[in-house]
């Protein structure tokens, strides 16, 4: 037995010597696909990025203000139609546009009403040139999309209606085909089907830029499994939510952590532009996609999960989102969100753990193996012939 302890002590000393030689480990440099740039170039790159973002934001704000001006000009007190076609739209295009919008509106179900939502379609072919010396080669600041859709929330319209501002950049067959491929109801579908949100629910939606309510296709079934790599798009709070850490889901949803004045959205938080980058402040930091790339489906999936009537009670409740959801569905919003993450991105496997019985077996077997290893062996000579 004394030999076993001597061997154990020798192994421990060898390990300690190796650790003393290797530690501390040399500092590692972060891997990068690009070569490091100089400080002046990095500063100039940041300035260029900020200028480009400011230019595109100014264009979006101008186009939205222009569309709202058209909508307000044609608006009447007796206007109760869910679809309004501007006079700029040719008759044949107006018929096709009305058919496309009507189909999407009908998909919201029988609860859909024009009291709190409307779709406004107009044609605008004007361009915004870049500020260059040669106007003939200036190009434009906007994308080349055939159809643009922006959602104006009630506080940007008449205080009562969410308006989908649909800009067609032409009236050709290609523009009509592009219109049919666009989601023309979006966040306004929730206002159409459920009216104005309750006080605390509305504050939460506004503080998070309605990012969890941007899809209103709850009457269309969808596959929950998505690309496995999308799991890595969750931020730290989303990861805690997926793994069941207490409070992780509420943090990912920014419930109880998002101040009322924390919105970073352009258009002063009253405009939802699906093509614009999404970012908002919560808990003193910028959040981009806490629940990953599928988070815009969250509330649409909630409608699928608990049904239209119970979701309507949640949407219109004056209570906090978590209390309202528990009252309407009987389930906490935190536990439902964790289940939604699991269905959408897949469950996370259990962490490997060290069991006591495994340690006990190793402790019993290791000395036996060590005794066998150090036991002197007899050499057997072959018999003489």
pLDDT at 173: 93
pLDDT at 365: 73
pLDDT at 283: 52
Q: Is 211 helix (H, G, I), strand (E, B) or coil?
A: coil
Domain boundaries, the chain: 56-129+141-196, 198-350
Return the closest-CA partner of residue 84 out of 115, 112, 122.
Answer: 122
pLDDT at 127: 83
Q: Whole-angstrom Cα distance, residue 214 to residue 211?
A: 6
Q: Is 266 helix (H, G, I), strand (E, B) or coil?
A: helix
Q: Whole-angstrom Cα distance, residue 234 to residue 291?
A: 5
Q: Give CA separation, 247 vs 255, 355, 370, in Å.
A: 10, 28, 49
Length of the chain, please? 385
Return the closest-CA partner of residue 333 out of 197, 201, 193.
Answer: 201
Show Cβ contacts of residue 88 under 8 Å, excluding neighbours closer than 6 positions. 70, 122, 123, 124
Question: What stretches of 225-354 show up as alpha helix (H) in DSSP?
Answer: 236-242, 248-252, 298-306, 308-316, 321-329, 333-345
Q: Mean pLDDT, 10 residues at a time, over the chain (385 residues)?
A: 61 64 58 70 87 84 90 76 91 94 93 93 86 54 85 92 94 92 92 95 92 90 66 81 88 70 50 73 60 89 94 95 94 93 78 63 69 63 60
pTM: 0.76
pLDDT at 239: 86
């Amino acid at each position: 037995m004394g030999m076993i302890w001597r061997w154990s002590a020798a192994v421990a000393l060898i390990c300690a010597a190796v650790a003393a030689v290797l530690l501390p480990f040399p500092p590692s440099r972060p891997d990068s696909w690009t070569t490091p740039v100089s400080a002046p170039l990095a500063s100039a790159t940041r300035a260029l990025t900020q200028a480009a973002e400011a230019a595109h934001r100014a264009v979006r704000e101008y186009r939205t203000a222009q569309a709202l001006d058209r909508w307000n000009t044609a608006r009447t007190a007796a206007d109760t139609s869910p679809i309004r076609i501007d006079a700029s739209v040719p008759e044949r295009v107006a018929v096709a546009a009305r058919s496309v919008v009507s189909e999407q509106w009908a998909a919201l179900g029988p609860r859909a009403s024009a009291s709190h939502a409307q779709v406004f379609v107009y044609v605008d072919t004007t361009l915004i040139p870049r500020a260059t010396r040669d106007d003939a080669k200036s190009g434009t600041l906007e994308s080349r999309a055939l159809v643009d859709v922006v959602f104006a929330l009630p506080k940007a319209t008449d205080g009562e209606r969410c308006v989908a501002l649909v800009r067609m950049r032409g009236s050709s067959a290609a523009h009509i085909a592009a219109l049919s491929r666009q989601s023309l109801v979006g966040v306004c579908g929730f206002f159409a089907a459920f009216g104005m949100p309750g006080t605390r629910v509305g504050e939460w939606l506004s503080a998070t830029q309605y990012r969890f309510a941007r899809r209103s296709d709850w009457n269309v079934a969808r596959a929950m499994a998505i690309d496995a790599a999308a799991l890595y798009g969750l931020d730290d709070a989303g990861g805690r939510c997926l793994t069941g850490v207490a409070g992780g889901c509420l943090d990912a949803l920014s419930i109880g952590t998002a101040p009322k004045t924390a919105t970073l959205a352009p258009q002063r938080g009253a405009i939802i532009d699906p093509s614009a980058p999404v970012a908002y402040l919560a808990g003193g930091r910028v959040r981009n996609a806490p629940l990953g790339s599928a988070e815009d489906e969250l509330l649409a999936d909630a409608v699928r999960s608990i049904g239209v009537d119970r979701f309507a009670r949640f949407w219109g409740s004056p209570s906090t989102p978590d209390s309202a959801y528990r009252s309407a569905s009987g389930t906490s919003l935190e536990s439902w969100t964790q289940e939604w993450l699991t269905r959408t991105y897949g469950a996370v496997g259990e962490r490997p753990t060290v069991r006591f019985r495994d340690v006990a077996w190793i402790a019993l077997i290791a000395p036996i193996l060590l005794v066998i290893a150090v036991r002197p062996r007899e050499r057997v000579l072959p018999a003489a012939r």
